[in-house]
A and B are shown apart, each in its own frame.
Chain A
């Protein structure tokens, strides 16, 4: 009985969160069209979510590219196909690793901070104070972050693709001794614009998704400092796992 109760309440919480996050996203999106437009806040959040994440995203991409080159090379050697290393590394990065790892790193660095900041504003009644000053808190707090996420995550993904491929090049050409010309030629042969764009489209979705989840969890946080901690953990877990699940769904359906 207790197990049923536990599973049932988990399922209800899951449904409540799904509905809540979607409504929250929708409200934030609609608030885009109400005045005043918050250009200054939008730029501030672009800096926080985008510019300040470049280093962590860049490092992740660099080492992912490098290790991918090693592992793929290890597999390709078995049937003498090392020459396609450049193409395989570039495809792996642009289609999958670039968008997914970028989004997960943005969740870890900026998403958690968004939840913690909004959660702390909630428990100190600053969000209610915004409401009391006749300001729509979602339009003020979430909408600029949503658009900052939608724009900066694809930009970071593009950067991650480039750095990751550079990492693959370093290992492939400089360490494993694959010819520069072959590495580049195979990459050009195998990677099409559609491959790059599929990753970018996914990252636009991930940007909106991670801000919606992290924003929702912080905005509705309750239970004092402990509640903010719990909300931040839930936001990071739901966003990260959600990104991987949606990556699979989007890849299967569209790309």
Chain B
């Protein structure tokens, strides 16, 4: 479980996070939603120490992560994986080498064992055939799947997904989300997903947290969010669902 208390962060005098309070339950899928540019990625980057808060606490395994040294963070990062929006694959390495990278760095396994594990991870994300390809040769969806395989290599307990479906067509969006749910079940993960996609969130989330003007305005199960009378959430849901209906009519 990750507990965030009163987290604040400013950039050049502009306060992006104004006091975030959120509990991320273990083994569940939490969607963080909100308008673009409201600090969702900023919030996520605090959970892995890529940003340091001005104020507040983040508790994970009885440790306040905001007080950790860089060396202590290295241990935490083996338990909390992060999937970047564009995958952040090393473009000088093949897909196989990318997935093997964390294993070579940390697992101290013989080469054959690493090879076997890489094949297993790539099979889990359906990308074994692209093992020898370079990231530049992959489509957006394939890059995200390769990045997921690399993130899974260290067997993290938690994975943070920064807009894993952005830039993909609706079919790919769904298949990526289904893949995430499958690996979540298989590896018993806690997932935190930033997304703008309301239908997917309502379908796959255990908890949805809405971020607006630097605070979490409401967090709860999808049913509760669906019935929310908070004006921002109502507006967000209605706009998103209306968009969905328009797309449906257009396709029809």
Contacts and interface: CB of A to CB of B under 8 A. Distances in A.
Interface of A: 36, 121, 124-126, 128-129, 131-136
Contact of A125 (B49, B86, B105, B150): B86
A131 B75 contact: no
B96 interface: no
A46 B105 CA distance: 22
A129 B88 contact: yes
A133 to B, nearest CB: 4
Interface stretch (B28-36, B77-85, B223-231): B77-85
Given A132-B82, A133-B154, A134-B105, A124 B88 contact: yes
A129 B84 contact: yes
Contact of B74 (A126, A128, A134): A134
Interface in B40-67: 48-50
Q: Which 10 A-B pairs have the closest CB atoms?
A: A129-B88, A125-B88, A134-B74, A133-B102, A134-B77, A132-B82, A125-B84, A134-B78, A126-B88, A135-B105
A132 B51 CA distance: 12
| Among A36, A125, A133, A136: residue with most chain B CB under 10 A | A133
12 contacts: A125-B88, A126-B90, A128-B50, A128-B84, A129-B82, A129-B84, A132-B77, A133-B101, A134-B75, A134-B77, A134-B102, A135-B102
Interface of B: 48-50, 70, 74-75, 77-78, 81-82, 84-86, 88-91, 101-102, 105-106, 150, 154
B150 to A, nearest CB: 8
Contact of A128 (B78, B81, B88): B88
A85 to B, nearest CB: 48
Nearest to A140: B105
A124 B88 CA distance: 6
B101 to A, nearest CB: 7
Contacts of A131: 49-50, 77
A132 B77 CA distance: 6
A124 B86 contact: yes
Contacts of A126: 88-91
A84 to B, nearest CB: 51
Contacts of B85: 125
A169 B89 CA distance: 52
A126 B135 CA distance: 12
Contacts of A36: 105
Contacts of A136: 70, 74
Nearest to B151: A132
Contacts of A134: 74-75, 77-78, 102, 105-106, 154
A129 B84 CA distance: 8
B75 A124 contact: no
Contacts of A125: 84-86, 88
| Among A121, A124, A125, A132: residue with most chain B CB under 10 A | A132
A134 B153 CA distance: 12
B50 A124 contact: no
Contacts of B50: 128, 131-132
